[in-house]
Amino acid sequence: MTEQHANPEDSDLYALGALDGQELQAFEAHVRSCSKCAQEVEAARRQVTLLGLAAPAAAPPPSVKESLMRRVRAERVPEMPWTVRRQEAAKPVRVSSFAWLTPAFGTAAVFFAALAALIWMKDLRDSKQIENLQAQLAVAQAQSVQIAKAAADADQLVGSAGTMRVALAQQPGGPSARAGVLYNARMGAVMYAGEMPPAPAGKSYQLWLVPASGAPVSLGVFSVTDPSMPMSAHVPPGMVAKAFAVTLEPQGGMPQPTGPKVLVGVVS
């Protein structure tokens, strides 16, 4: 029986992203089961990748690199003790403010303490406590910016219609970890807070959005030095989460999850 192969021109068009309609679907279905045509696609991809080099020469102004390096330096996260934040986060009196937690999630309420601490920052603005906190935050400006942003994000998320709270449940065999996510699909915003033990050497925790369809999307890699740092992220437009998960990955994270699940929470 003679094997039917796709038209060679379709490999080129596919690599260019120009194949469309039913032809695209049929081509992809064929290539998945035809090694010869898959090789044609790979060859075309390699060629297409470098077509951009044929563009007329143009040089970016020096200001682009200067701005890039400023942003890189601003993102540096220096070492800093987080005792104050964690102590504040551990205050039990505030746990009652999480009345939204269902009984099933009640035991997880205390684990949202880190998230609560961020929300409380607004309330504490005029207090002595915030002065102390601010004094310590000033030691590391980059991290304070991150916290302020997280606090602002939390304020905005908590006050917005449609914001959901998703408790992330510890997984069997995983480390003792407690966390939750604020998620607003309309705003495309996610905020994570929790308490995590340090990741093993050479490993990082990574937060994922599991969409209703398609592959998980990375929302960020946890700080190696402080995996309990809050994180905020933006969800790609149009993407709706059905769950959130934290996995243990090689240090620096992976494009797709490869390691064991540490925390999982389903969006109800």
Query: According to CB under 8 A, which residues from 174 to 233 bind another protein?
Result: 215, 221
Burial letters for 186-212: b for 16+ Cβ neighbours within 10 Å, e otherwise?
ebebbbbbbbbeebeeebbbbbbbbbe
Listed ranges 15-23, 96-104, 192-200, 227-235: which one lies at the site for another protein (CB under 8 A):
15-23
Going through 154-235 in order, the beta strands assigned E by DSSP cover 164-170, 178-184, 189-195, 203-211, 217-221, 231-234
The single residue among 2, 22, 71, 161 that binds another protein, judged by CB under 8 A, is 71
Whichever of 39 and 107 has its CB closer to another protein, that residue is 39
Q: Does 123 bind another protein (CB under 8 A)?
A: no
Q: Using DSSP bridges, classify how beta strands 231-234 and 241-250 pair: parallel, antiparallel or unpaired.
A: unpaired
Residues 235, 189 contacting (CB under 8 angstroms): yes
Tokens standing for 170?
């510890």
Whichever of 61 and 92 has its CB closer to another protein, that residue is 61
The single residue among 92, 103, 159, 237 that binds another protein, judged by CB under 8 A, is 237
Residue 127 CB, shortest distance to another protein, in Å, is: 35
Residue 49 CB, shortest distance to another protein, in Å, is: 5
Residues engaged in binding another protein (CB under 8 A) = 7-10, 12-21, 23, 42, 44-61, 64-65, 67-69, 71-73, 75-76, 215, 221, 236-238, 250-256
